[in-house]
A and B are shown apart, each in its own frame.
Chain A
Amino acid sequence: MELQTMIWLVVGASFALYFGIAIWSRAGSTSEFYVAGKGVHPVANGMATAADWMSAASFISMAGLIAFMGYSGGAFLMGWTGGYVLLALLLAPYLRKFGKFTVPDFIADRYYSKAARVVAIISLLVMSITYIVGQMTGVAVAFSRFLELDLFWGMVVGMAVVFSYSVLGGMKGITYTQIAQYVVLIFAYTVPAVFISLQLTGVFLPQIGLGSTMTGSDMFMLERLNQVLTDIGFTEYTTNNNFGTLNMFLLTMALMIGTAGLPHVIVRFFTVPNVRDARKSAGWALVFIALLYTTAPAVGAMAMYNLVKTVHTGDTIAEETTLAYEDRPQWMKNWEQTGLLTFEDKNDDGRIQFYNDGNQEFAQFAEDEYGWKGNELNVNRDIMVLANPEIANLPNWVIALIAAGGIAAALSTAAGLLLVISSSISHDLLKGIIAPQISEKAELMAGRIAMTFAILLAGYLGLNPPGFAAEVVALAFGLAASSLFPALMMGIFFKKMNKEGAIAGMLAGLISTLLYIFTYKGFLFIPGTNLFPDTAEYWLMGINPIGFGTIGAIINVVVALIVMKMTAPAPAHIQAMVENVRVPRGSGGATGH
C-alpha cells in the first residue's frame, strides 16, 4: 500500500480509539475531572504516567541526542528515570495520603499560607507553559509532515484534537486515553528497533543486541562503532563525554530532582486508590518508561552506525568508497527536502564526505590523504528516530506506525500538562484564593475555560515560538528542581519547617536559578541580553547553566533551614498533620478542601 494512505489509515485508527475512550469516560464531577475519581489501578496508572511523561522529546529527540553524544547521553537516560526513585521514596505515598487535588494545595496547607500557594502556582505555571509550548510545536510538526498540511493547519488540527478529549474528559478521560497512547507509542518505538537489531546483530532484543557481536563477524557492535567513528576523526562512542564529569553529575542530578518536582507527573499519584498503590504505581511507571529508555541507546548507536556506513561504504575509509551524491538513497532525498539534512560539495568531487572537521589533526590528514575540504553532510539530530525505519529499509507500515507513535507521545504529554494548568487556575487560584465559595459546577466550568485558553496560548506560542526549545526545557527542569521539589520534600521530612523558611527557600532557589540561566542565555532568552558568553571559561566555577538546578535546590534547602532557625517553628496542628501524612492508614477518597 502507498505510504501516505497507510499513514492516514494508522493515524486515523489510533485517533478513533482515543476519541472513543474520551466519550466513554466523560467526567461528571471535579474529582473525576482532576484526579479521575481516585480509582485508577496502579498498573494502569503507571502506564498513563509513562505516556504523560514521555513527550515528543523522549520519543523523537532523545535517541538522536544519544547518537551524537555517545556515553554522555547517559545523563538524560539516568536523569529522566532516576527521578522516579525519588518520587516513589520521597513524595508519592505522602502526597497521596495528604489527599488533595493539586501540588499548590499541598504547599498551601502544609505551609498554612496563601503566599506559599501563590509562589507554588507561579512556579507551576511557568514550568508547565514552557513545557507545553514544545509539545504543541511537536504536535504541529508531526501533523504537518505526516498529513501533508502546512504548519499552521497542522497546529489547528492538533489543537482541535487536544481540546476535544481533554476538555470533555478531564483526568478520567485523559488517563484512559493515555493508556491507549502508551501502547501505540511503545509499539511504534520498539518494532523498528527490533528489526534493526536483527539486521545488525541477529539479536532480537535491542538492549542485548547493542552488547553483542555484529552479524557475520566476531567484533562487538560497540567496538565496531568506536572504530568506525574514530576512523573519521570523532572520539570513541563509549567514552565520548560532552559535559565533563562535574557537569554530567550536576545535569543528571538536576534532571532527576526536576522530574520528581514536575507537577504534571506528581499529580498522577493522586489518582490511585491508596498509599500502597501510589508507591507501586511509581514502580510500574518506571517499568513502562524503561521499555523505551533502555531501547533508546540501541536506537541511537545503531542509527549512528547505519548513517556512517551509508556514507562510507567500504570497510576502511577511502575517497573511492564515499557515497556518490547521485547514488544517495531515497530517505536522504526525502529529508533533504525538509532542510533537516543538507549536503554541500566542498571539494567538488560529487561524493559525500562525513567526518569530524573540528578535529584539526584529522582534518589535515584527510585533506593531504583524500583531498577532503571539510565535512559535507549535516544531519539534524531530531530526524534520527523518524528516519530510522527508512534508513533500514523497513516496510511502509512501520513508518506509518512511527507517525502515529510520535503524535501519541506529543498529545498525551500536552493533555496532562493542560490539566495541570487548568486545575492550578480554576482550583488553586480561583477557588483557593479569589472565590472560595464557588460551586463545584462553576469550578468545573472555569477549569474547562482555563484549559481552552491554555490551548490557544500554547498553540500561539508554538507557532510563534520564543525559540530555543532546548534552553526553555532546561529552564523548566531547573525551576522544578530548585523550587517545588525541595519545598515538597522538606514539608514531609522536616516536621518543623515553617512557612517563612519554605517561602524564602522557594524564592531563593527560583531566583538564583533564573538569574544564573539568564546570565548566560539572555534575559527571557532574548539573544544579546546575556551578561557573559555561554562558554565554559565564563561559567561560575565551571558550572553549566543546564545543570544549575542542582545548585538551586541546594540553595533552596540551605536558605529554608537558616530562615527556619530564625523564626518560630510550624504550629502544633501542622506538625500533627505531617505526622498523619507519614502513616498510610486512613487514606480516604480525596477532597477538594
Chain B
Amino acid sequence: MQPTGSAAEYWKANVRLLLGCLVVWFVVSFGFGILLVDVLNNFNLGGYPLGFWFAQQGSIYTFIGLIFFYVWKMNKLDKQFDVDEE
C-alpha cells in the first residue's frame, strides 16, 4: 500500500499527538520529579513535599492518564480517517 494523502495525514496527526503526550511524560517525571524537584519541594500536597510526590506518586498517576488519553484520541482519529478496525 502506498501512502495516500489521507494515510500520510493520519500519520502526521498521530505523531503530533504522540509528541504532545511525550512532552507531558517528560515534564512530570524528569522535569518535576528530578530536575525541578528542589524548587517544587517548597510546596506541599498534604504532607507530601510536591517534588517528592511527583517522583514517587504523581508521575505514575499521570502516566496512566496519558495512556488512556492517547487511546481515546487515537480511537477518534482512527474513525475520522476511516482506518479503524471495524
- Interface of A toward B, CB cutoff 8 Å: 66, 71, 73-74, 77-78, 81-82, 84-85, 88-90, 93, 207-208, 210-213, 220-223, 238-239, 245, 248-249, 252-253, 274-276, 279-280, 282-283, 286-287, 290, 293-294, 297, 493, 576, 579-580, 582-587
Contacts and interface: CB of A to CB of B under 8 A. Distances in A.
Contacts of B47: 210-213, 220-223
A90 B71 CA distance: 12
B80 interface: no
Contacts, number: 142
Contacts of A212: 46-47
B50 to A, nearest CB: 10
B11 to A, nearest CB: 5
B63 A585 contact: no
A213 B44 CA distance: 13
Given A239-B49, A279-B71, 5 more contacts: A77-B59, A82-B25, A276-B84, A276-B85, A584-B83
Nearest to A297: B56
A77 B68 CA distance: 20
Contacts of B56: 66, 71, 73-74, 77, 297
A249 B53 contact: no
Contacts of A576: 1-2
Given A249-B35, A579-B2, A587-B85, A89 B21 contact: yes
B47 to A, nearest CB: 3
Interface string B19-40: 0011001000110011101100
A286 B34 contact: no
A27 to B, nearest CB: 26
B65 to A, nearest CB: 9
B71 A582 contact: no
Contacts of A249: 30, 34-35
A585 B41 contact: no
A207 B75 CA distance: 32
Which range holds the interface residue count of chain B?
35 or more
Binding site secondary structure of chain A = helix
Nearest to B18: A89
Contact of B60 (A279, A293, A582): A293
A583 B77 CA distance: 11
A290 B60 CA distance: 7
A117 B17 CA distance: 32
Given A74-B33, A211-B45, A297-B57, A81 B78 contact: no
A283 B33 contact: no
Contact of A279 (B33, B41, B74): B74
A294 B60 contact: yes
11 contacts: A71-B56, A78-B33, A207-B57, A211-B48, A238-B52, A249-B34, A249-B35, A275-B85, A276-B74, A583-B7, A586-B85
Contacts of A89: 18, 21-22, 67, 70
Which 4 residue pairs spanning A and B have beta carbons closest together?
A220-B47, A74-B55, A211-B46, A283-B67
Given A275-B85, A582-B11, A583-B7, A78 B29 contact: yes
B59 A78 contact: yes
A91 to B, nearest CB: 12
B84 A584 contact: yes
A582 B29 CA distance: 28
Given A71-B52, A78-B60, A276 B29 contact: no
Nearest to B53: A211
